[in-house]
Chains A and B, each alone.
Chain A
Amino acid sequence: MTRPGYAQLQDVILDPDFPELDLALRRGRHIDRDDVAWYALLGDAQDHLEAFYRRYGCELVHKPDGYFYLLPTGDKLSRRQLAAGDMLVGQALALLYLQPSTVERAGRNTQEELIAQLAAVMGSDALIRAFNPKRRRYDERVAQKTVRSRVGEAVRRLAGLGFVELLDGEQLRLRPALMRFAEPVRGLSEPAEALAQLVARGEIALAEEAGTGPGANDATAEGDAEQGPHDEGEGEGDDGDLDDEHDRDDGDSP
């Protein structure tokens, strides 16, 4: 699988695209065919790069759906996990990706369609609860606004990881890496068994390990515990708390 131009690892490293690709992989980016140059480089130098990243305690994963990503299996490279809210949004996007209506538009969807999908599958109340997990009472209007806001943030984070591409306006283009969200239910085996296998491979972490609630977020397992790009700390003021809202908004709430 190594083309003549990449006879040695040195040739790969000397490729002008390699530095950017390497940084993107180390930051969790998923590379698919739409990243034409990077995907070609990964495909041509896969053998060299697999050995290369193994020395860093990572596995360069190539999925049959047509995408690559780097999965830390040791402690040399930081490993992170998606927050619960990002997981919900990612699974809804994966569901959209599978639907024939998306095929008609060549993978394009809007954020509104995404929220509608979430509401249709989870139910509006469960959706609001999922994105406002610690609120006993909430103003419906503010809570819905919070949901839209949090979904938008999640989409932006997932775009940074190569799961979707942000187009003009509210448009999204879904990418093959979204199929990672469907991995536990994809095989013929039972989901629990598939989950156990994925956990054993380090592909996923179960909820207890990852934390609970959409705000629990993205725990850095080891390495440099730098603050992630998506802090969703609770109680920051815009989160639909009825009491807080009453304090701030006199007469506007129903």
Chain B
Amino acid sequence: MIRLLVAGHEAVADGSLGIEGCGGEGEICARRVDLAGASGYRAGTVSAPRSTPERVLAVIAERRLSLELGTLDICFLVALHVHGEAAGLTAFTEAQLEDVFAQASAVAQPEADQLRRRATHAIQRLRDQRMLARVDGQGVVRTGEFALSRLATGIVQFFLEEDVLTRETLGLLTHSLRIAITSVLEAARRAGDPAAWQDGVVGPLRVTITELVAGIERRQRGLDLQQEDFQAEIRRLLEADWFGAIDRCQDLLESTSATLRELNEVLLRDTSVLLGLLHDIEDLAIAAGEPDGETAAHRLMDQVDRIAAWGSARQRAWSEYFQYVHRYLRDVVRLDPTRALMQRLRDQLAGSGRRFALAYAGAPPIRLVRTVAAVPERPPVVRPRAPREREPEADAGQDPQAVLDSKVSRALGGGATALSVVTGEVTAELQGPERFVEAGRVAHTVARLARASSAIERPWVPVGDDLVIEDWSIRPGAVGAPVTAGAAGDPGSAGSAGSGGQAARRETGGGPGVDTAAGAGPARVAEPSGISGHPGNPDAPEAPPGGSR
């Protein structure tokens, strides 16, 4: 019994397993057959032509297509085929079908009764699976005539006729192929328009030549099956007649080897010629801008390549098998003609006799001594014992004002009599912006540490290259006195506010007043801290005390 796919109420249509070429490009499509009551089938494509096997398989699985044939059904089909060929029948009447079924049943199920009833069921099974097709078209008017479908014919031929590649069939096929491709090449050279390409080149390449190539491939598969049969036959011969089978085995090996060798020679010789012709057709198609012709030629070249590769692969595989069997025949069969070794070995394995162990060389791998590299010793990983966070410590640090006081005192002690002199000494090491800021602090400190006096109009005195200040005069030895304002009495009432009422300006580019702090003039002396800021320098923490420009 053969069972193909799954059971269901749908049967496959013409063609093997319902898959066949649909269209020139070789698209695969699946057909479905709906059971429409007892009247017959409506066949139609499942869907549009498909290009991928996955989609076709999905459709088949979805439709649950099936084929189920028992031995009796196959015998019935084969009997119909043989009977039709012998009698020259293209169709069978119902009576003829029943007669043929009786013959098949007599062989397959000789003891079965109710022949007519079983014949009716068998015919219906084959009709359901589209093995038998009614061909008279008379419906209920009279009894019908039936013919084997293409599917049934294919199945019968598979069992009856095994196309096997031989040197003769291969030579004939390749010769026919060569003639056909040559004529297509001529047509391609003559073709001047797309219609001529289609009729003379693409069509023959897709149908005639493809069929010939498929014929070779089919016979290759037949030969593969035959080789498998040979291998099984060799086993059967050895099992049946151990030593006596040697000659027969060698004959089988030799004949198959010779066949494969010849086939390979033919393939090697002819495939190169065929490929050359197809290559010319492909070139012409490319030159003529005919993609269909190019595709068809290219596909055929692939098929021919595959045929050649098959020949090489089979010969190589058979060669290995040939050597293996020959070694077996020589080393095992000839040396043990009574087949006693196998039995003794079986007994040994079963435990008779003393147990033993094979000895073998077991040298350890060679030890390659490597150069010693000093490994740096890393300190062991330990938990830190000391606390990670340290307690804050008191740090007296250095009071910047005290430093400034000492510098100013040192300058005053050195005999300085003017603010500009003290400022020059104290700020000599500072750069521009710091010096400008420090000048104010110096004035403030001088006012605190010495008695200074100034006229109402204080003179602007340069201190270095980049600073100009309103100058005061300082009386030596007088410390802590407020600044006085000359004729206006004692300006110290205002200057004692802390900054000394002094003004300074930073000279940039030499122009007076370009970078001068605001608040110049006597009125500013009284409010020194309010003069802070510098329009061009927002970072200045404080402006020079006193008037500045």
Contacts and interface: CB of A to CB of B under 8 A. Distances in A.
A125 interface: no
A240 interface: no
Contacts, number: 167
Interface residues of A, number: 70
Interface stretch (A81-89, A138-146, A147-155, A241-249): A81-89
A120 to B, nearest CB: 9
Given A71-B359, A92-B349, A182-B341, A100 B239 contact: yes
Interface stretch (A1-9, A164-172, A203-211): A203-211
Interface string B352-380: 01111111111111100000000000000
Interface stretch (B142-150, B229-237, B292-300): B229-237
A202 interface: yes
Contacts of A198: 356
B399 interface: no
B357 A210 contact: yes
Contact of B364 (A78, A100, A185): A78
Contact of B359 (A79, A88, A105, A224): A79
B354 A206 contact: yes
A77 B327 CA distance: 33
Contact of B327 (A66, A87, A98): A66
A94 B345 contact: yes
Contacts of A72: 359, 361
Interface string B314-358: 000000110011011001100010000110111111110111111
Interface size class of B (residues with CB under 8 A): 35 or more
B332 A98 contact: yes
A51 interface: no
B177 to A, nearest CB: 33
B359 A184 contact: no
B356 A79 contact: no
Contact of A176 (B321, B325, B331): B331
A69 B360 CA distance: 8
B351 A122 contact: yes
A80 B359 contact: yes
B164 interface: no
A104 B234 contact: yes
A126 B324 contact: no
Contact of A104 (B231, B336, B358): B231
B266 interface: no
A101 interface: yes
10 contacts: A28-B362, A71-B360, A80-B361, A95-B345, A98-B345, A103-B231, A103-B328, A121-B349, A176-B327, A180-B358
Given A70-B361, A83-B357, A103-B231, 12 more contacts: A26-B363, A27-B365, A77-B363, A80-B359, A81-B358, A81-B359, A87-B356, A90-B358, A94-B345, A101-B239, A103-B328, A104-B232
